Chain A
Amino acid sequence: MATIDISNVSKIFTDKKRNADVTALADINLSIARNEFVCLLGPSGCGKSTLLNMIAGFEQPSAGHVTVDGRIVTAPGADRGVVFQHANLMPWLPVWENVAFHLLLGGGQKAERRARAQVYIDMVGLTGFENHYPSELSGGMNQRVGIARALLMNPQVILMDEPFGALDEQTRMDMQNELVRIWQQHQGTIVFVTHGIDEALTLGTQIAVMSARPGRIAEIIPIDLPRPRDITSPQFNALKRHILALLRGERVEQERAPA
């Protein structure tokens, strides 16, 4: 049974200034089953973030529809937790209030909010930083707060838009391991947007490779490498070669196409 169903979705942006339409996504079909960890992989401008935003409800498809648990997505909601590219924390709130922001809006009691926040603060490894403000933390720590905020809502689906894009290599690898651990522990469906092939291969149970202009899904590749994944193993490299060929082939095609 699919948790997320994307059927015949297209997205056309109208550029009013230049009076031209840009097709960001063309006829996308994708089914994501419960507890899958799907990585949307593609070059910049292939519409992978737009697709994620449509699942989140921030944007509406021009044609087709997105359903989550059978309901058509029309607006953002707490059943879909989003972790943004930049953490997007409230700078005036300490870590624990940011983590429990969902409960603050819901009108929860302070003691209850504090206790619930602590569970997720511990889960993302920020114990001891509860009363720090976002400006006092590093980028990686802020991103952890963003993940904890999404987890606290106990959503069916977690949507992540290049959440580790701004981090250094070492921190990124730590965060990837952490995320896999949390996903295994927490259970739930994750859709993860990235342009990093290694990142997609390290994280996903499936990789949807996308092509650009207009954005389409080129191939859906199931990944059943054992975890923790060895990024130097022959199987890993074989898959990487395959994806590189997919992406490169596409670039060649684009360059050949008449302007």
Chain B
Amino acid sequence: MIALAQLKKLDRAIVPLLVLAGWEAFSRSGALPAALLPAPSTVVWAWADWLVGTDGNTQTYSGHWVADMLASLSRVAAGFAIATVLGVALGVAIGWSRRIEIVIEPTLQMLRPIPPVSWIPLAIIWFGIANKPAIFLVFLGAFFPILLNTIHGVKSCDRNLIRAGAMVGGSERKLLRYIVVPAAMPSIFAGLRIGIGSAWMLTVTAEMVAVKSGLGYVLWDSYYFLRYDLVLAAMASIGLLGFCSDLSIRLVMARVLHWQRNTTLRGGE
């Protein structure tokens, strides 16, 4: 049994290890110039210096990883938080009230197809070169998935549950709080998970263009200096942080939606 459990843990590592080993071998084989595709070992070397300043090979970035990471993370957190509050509030209102839907929805549906990235010029004019345009873009990217999933969740709330709530004497406000919003939670969390992905995508884009700090900025700056090992280290950092933020949403979700555990095919994942 123990051996089997250990084997299962190894399962997850097999594919990444094979990819890394193949990549390392390919880079060292000399099929491409080493500078164009740095081997994983080179990337780790650069990453280590960026992280804790081992030998200064990343020059100005040596030992700066935590600051760069926090710069990006704070933008994601701020934009995502605003998007969550507005997206859920507006989504509940639109999903619940036909009148609000008629007044607001057409405008939102017109704005939605515009790629958030195309707002960059206006964002720079309005907010300058700093945190604000990046937060604005993150907000735009995360807002629509959260909004649409919330609307969907509210609209698909079982009418019979609302009847049951009306039967025990609930006012409209109470029904929203104690029935509609809890019933929409699975959908809202689906929106949050899509939203956090867009949030990282847009932070990095914004940092390449409109901001002078963060993981995206390091990535773009290293490209100018032909430091592809650092480019790859930045990419890996973004992937890692995206994974961690999704994981934390999933942990919260598993707590909030624990009642779903035994009702779905693979509940709580």
A interface residues (Cβ-Cβ under 8 A, vs B): 56-58, 75-78, 80-82, 84, 86, 88-93, 101-102, 104-106, 133, 135-136, 149-150, 153
Contacts and interface: CB of A to CB of B under 8 A. Distances in A.
Contact of B160 (A84, A136, A150): A84
B163 A75 contact: no
A92 B169 contact: no
B184 to A, nearest CB: 11
Interface of B: 158, 160-161, 163-171, 174, 178-179, 182-183, 185, 257, 259-260, 262-263
A84 B168 contact: no
Contacts, number: 69
Contact of B169 (A56, A86, A90, A106): A106
A56 B167 contact: yes
Given A105-B174, A106-B169, A149-B168, A76 B163 contact: yes
Contacts of A90: 161, 164, 178-179, 182-183
Contacts of A92: 182-183, 185, 257, 259
A106 B165 CA distance: 11
27 contacts: A56-B167, A58-B166, A75-B166, A76-B163, A77-B169, A78-B168, A81-B167, A82-B163, A82-B167, A84-B160, A84-B163, A88-B158, A88-B161, A89-B164, A90-B164, A90-B178, A91-B259, A92-B182, A101-B178, A104-B178, A105-B169, A105-B171, A105-B174, A106-B169, A133-B262, A135-B263, A150-B167
Contacts of B259: 91-93, 133, 135
Per DSSP, chain B at the interface is helix
Given A104-B178, A135-B262, A88 B163 contact: yes
A58 B160 CA distance: 11
Given A58-B163, A86-B160, 15 more contacts: A75-B166, A78-B167, A82-B164, A82-B167, A84-B164, A89-B164, A90-B178, A90-B183, A91-B260, A92-B257, A93-B259, A101-B178, A102-B169, A105-B168, A105-B171
Nearest to A82: B167
A100 to B, nearest CB: 10
Contacts of A101: 164-165, 168, 178
A258 to B, nearest CB: 38
B108 to A, nearest CB: 28
Contacts of B170: 105
A153 B260 CA distance: 28
A76 B174 contact: no
Contacts of A149: 164, 168
A88 B174 CA distance: 17
With most chain B CB atoms within 10 A of its CB, the pick from A58, A82, A104, A105 is A105
A78 B165 CA distance: 10
A153 B164 contact: no
A80 B262 contact: no
A150 B179 CA distance: 17
Nearest to A80: B167
